Amino acid sequence: MITNKSLALKSILFSGIFSVMILSCGKQVSGVSEADPWKKMELIVKSIPETHFANKTYNINDFGAVGDGKTMNTMAFEKAIKECAAKGGGRVLVPNGKYLTGPIHLESNVNLHLEDQAEILFSTNSKDYPLLHTSWEGTELMNHSPLIYAKNKTNVAITGKGTLNGQANNANWWYWCGSKRYGWEKGKPSQHDPLNRDNLVEMAEKGVPVAERIFGEGHYLRPNFIEFFECNTVLVKDITVINAPFWILHPLKSNNVIIDGVTVNSHGPNNDGCDPEYSQNVIIRNCTFNTGDDCIAIKSGRDADGRRVGIPSKNIVVQNCKMIDGHGGVVMGSEITAGVNNVYVENCVMDSPELDRAIRIKTNSKRGGTTEDIFVRNIEVGTVKECVLRVTMFYDIYGSQVGNYIPAIKNISLENVKVKNGGKFGILADGYQQSPIENITFKNVTIAKVDSVYSLKNVKKVNFINTYINGKKMESIKN
């Protein structure tokens, strides 16, 4: 039987081995290893332990579930998961059918497995989602439970080729964002009402304890879809996720996470496909993202709350993914205060007239933090709307975002990248004079068509190696 203790010891062992391997990779020079960074990525991948479950199955139908799309099955899921965990773990099976439910809370050593024609329909009644410790746009609070939630669990999974349907649309959940595009009308409540989003941000700035940041019912802050909070050794594999209220896959303060073969198709507001936040040793591979916001957005907290937590997101690996619609293919930010480093993106395809950028880093002087060592290779880009690479220290959603925490961004490398239509810019980058963006490298990059090669403000050292944009070989910029 796999126990929490044995998995924890295994994780510590892996971490120790990993640290020794990284030290052996070579000396650090200006933040970048002398060794091949992609070998470091291979060590990260090898260091991440996989989930293992007892060979026992607990069918939710045996606990009273009815797959008619109408019967509420919240208690059936809860009973099956608790019995599975109590008896040493195993697989909680969701058979073919449509199962309506409130939130599902996972336990250690439990694999929630959906058969191919199984669909879990999540209630659209906000009162079905109890108040608990979660996070909203990079700030911790007490809010509606995520639709699927695990906190302080080890060895936990969601697998199978079935569908998770949040049932969000303009009539429920989405209009809470306060946008007419998503069904909001004058007179309706939204997250922008004075006691809601702005109040949460102010509480965090004042250092109000998380337990006293009570929101939930009547505050219109939409719940995350799948959140693993302070978990270790996590797998999400093969499922399809549609119609999400808010962020979709959200590993929060979690380590050793594998997201494999997942399809996300959800075009609502803030429908980021995957948001690793304060998380380390994460693999996202073989996935398809078709989203209403960023396909993948790597985060590490907002402003004062990010500084309070202080855990950078690092060792994030993205492989063999397809990005369709979205604000960005692979993005860092904007909730990025504790920093992001060691991000590896390879063998991906990004292509849609509704995909704004391929690679994006967004921060500002309220966030601060350091973003560094971002490596991208073997990427095919068909069409993007704005640019191939977008890097900004002046991200300004929700009004003025000017503060006293000047961010740092350095060491971004794109290699073996082919772009058919790069939109408006090959590179669009703007930094602070006192903190310029440093060391952007394009190696073996071809952008067949783009309106402008680049627009750079306070950027130091852009290396073009065997790179052709609009048919012209580019020369490096050393300023």
Cα 99 from Cα 63, distance rounded (Å): 13
**pLDDT at 23 (0 to 100):** 42
**pLDDT at 397 (0 to 100):** 75
Cα 292 from Cα 408, distance rounded (Å): 28
What is the biggest distance separating any 2 CA atoms in the chain, rounded to whole angstroms? 68
Amino acid sitting at position 369:
G
Question: What pTM was computed for the model?
Answer: 0.93
**pLDDT at 10 (0 to 100):** 44
Pairing label, strands 437-449, 459-465: parallel
Radius of gyration of the chain (CA): 22
Query: Comparing C-alpha atoms, which of 371, 352, 351 is closest to residue 360?
Result: 371
Is residue 43 exposed (0-12), middle (13-18) or buried (19+ Cβ within 10 Å)? middle
Q: Which residues of the chain have pLDDT under 70?
A: 1-34, 398-400
The token pair that represents 181 in the structure block? 């595009």
**pLDDT at 217 (0 to 100):** 98
Q: Are 132 and 202 in contact (CB under 8 A)?
A: no
**pLDDT at 7 (0 to 100):** 45
Question: Buried (b) or exposed (e) across 133-148, using 16+ Cβ within 10 A?
Answer: bbbbbbbbbbbbbbbb
**pLDDT at 8 (0 to 100):** 45
Residue 30, CB-side half-sphere exposure with 13 Å CA sphere: 6
What's the DSSP call for residue 191?
T
Cα 381 from Cα 446, distance rounded (Å): 10
Q: Are 361 and 391 in contact (CB under 8 A)?
A: yes
The token pair that represents 210 in the structure block? 């998380």
**pLDDT at 5 (0 to 100):** 43
Cα 184 from Cα 123, distance rounded (Å): 20
Q: Give counts: helices (H), strands (E), the chain.
A: 5, 37
The token pair that represents 185 in the structure block? 């009308």
Q: What is the mean pLDDT of the chain?
A: 94
**pLDDT at 396 (0 to 100):** 86
Q: Which residues contact 46 (CB under 8 A, 6 or more apart)?
A: none
Query: Comparing C-alpha atoms, which of 143, 160, 398, 159 is closest to residue 246?
Result: 143
The token pair that represents 231 in the structure block? 């978990």
